[in-house]
A and B are shown apart, each in its own frame.
Chain A
Amino acid sequence: MNIVFWILAVITVLSGLAAVTLKNTVHCALAVTGAFAGLALLFLQLDAQFAGFAQILVYIGAVAILVVFAILLTRGSDTPAQGVFSRTWFAGLLIAAAVFTVLGWAVMNSAAALPHENAVPTVTVQQIGQALMGRYVLPLEIVALLLTAAMLGAVIVAMHEKGEPK
């Protein structure tokens, strides 16, 4: 439990909070990028290099960009007049708080049973590649299929329909 972890944790949580509370939608998107970056650094802190870099590549390089594109395409950067929170915000907040209470309670209660510091696992990218091509080849193929389907689906959903005014 070192200082780096705490710094990263604070950064991540604060950017996450900013992402769901800020008024301007683009600021939210930028804040969530900060949260993604903090999580990626936490992955690196956990010696999961490959997952951490994949997280940066996919989330900051693609998802965050997609989000800001979507915001600009839907004129989302104008702050709505009726406020940014929905009518049922209190119920939502209550549910979230309840979920956190339950999760936190579970973690704290089982903290003694959790394993302590163990040796740093030395996992090379080669091992990951071999695992992907060996033991996990079926999930890999399914993910590939899923990605293709998702790409086609996204294109078709977002495409202009014929005859529809632009």
Chain B
Amino acid sequence: MTPLAGYLLVAALVFAIGLAGALTRRNAILVLIGIELMLNAANLNLIAFWRYSPHPEVLTGMMFAVFSIAVAAAEAAVGLGLVIALYRHAHTTDLDEINRMKG
């Protein structure tokens, strides 16, 4: 197995774990955690591809990962703001209970 394949497998595993977390947990915050894990797995892919690319000095993969980290930070802030607003509205963060579109 090449090193790149190892990194890609780990990334795939982390992505799957994140997806499982996002799809199976009740708590909205933990769903968000799952999404963050998926984003991170994608970043690992980007960096691994950059590292083993024929022209790493072009920096594209690395830049993509850095921007992705910045976007993820914004996503986390907005997502958690939404969760808090949701909690204030419905007094729960349980996604199985929050199933009505009408307030």
Q: Do chains A and B touch in the complex (CB under 8 A)?
A: yes
Q: Which residues on A are within 8 Å of B, measured CB to CB? A: 1, 5, 9, 12-13, 16-17, 19-20, 25, 28-29, 32, 35-36, 39, 42-43, 46-48, 50-51, 54-55, 58-59, 62-63, 66-67, 69-71, 73-74, 76, 80, 82-89, 91-93, 95-97, 99-100, 103-104, 107-108, 111, 114-118, 121, 123, 127-128, 131-132, 136, 139-140, 143, 146-147, 149-151, 153-155, 157-158, 160, 164
- Given A147-B70, A157-B78, the answer on whether A115 and B53 have CB atoms closer than 8 Å is yes
Return A164 CB to nearest CB of chain B, in Å.
8
CA distance A16 to B18 in the complex (A): 7
19 extra A-B contacts, CB within 8 A, seeds A73-B87, A80-B94, A121-B56: A13-B17, A16-B14, A19-B17, A29-B33, A35-B37, A46-B48, A48-B47, A51-B62, A58-B69, A74-B84, A80-B27, A84-B30, A89-B24, A114-B52, A118-B52, A147-B73, A154-B78, A157-B78, A158-B80
On chain B, the residues within 8 Å of A86 by CB distance are 23-26, 95-96
Return A94 CB to nearest CB of chain B, in Å.
9
The tally of CB-CB contacts under 8 A between chains A and B is 267
The listed residue (A19, A58, A89, A157) touching B81 by CB distance below 8 A is A157
Q: Are A84 and B27 in contact (CB under 8 A)?
A: yes
What are 24 contact pairs spanning A and B, CB under 8 A? A1-B3, A13-B13, A16-B18, A20-B37, A25-B27, A29-B33, A32-B33, A32-B36, A36-B40, A39-B43, A42-B44, A51-B43, A55-B40, A58-B72, A62-B76, A70-B29, A73-B84, A89-B24, A92-B24, A111-B1, A114-B8, A131-B63, A154-B81, A157-B85
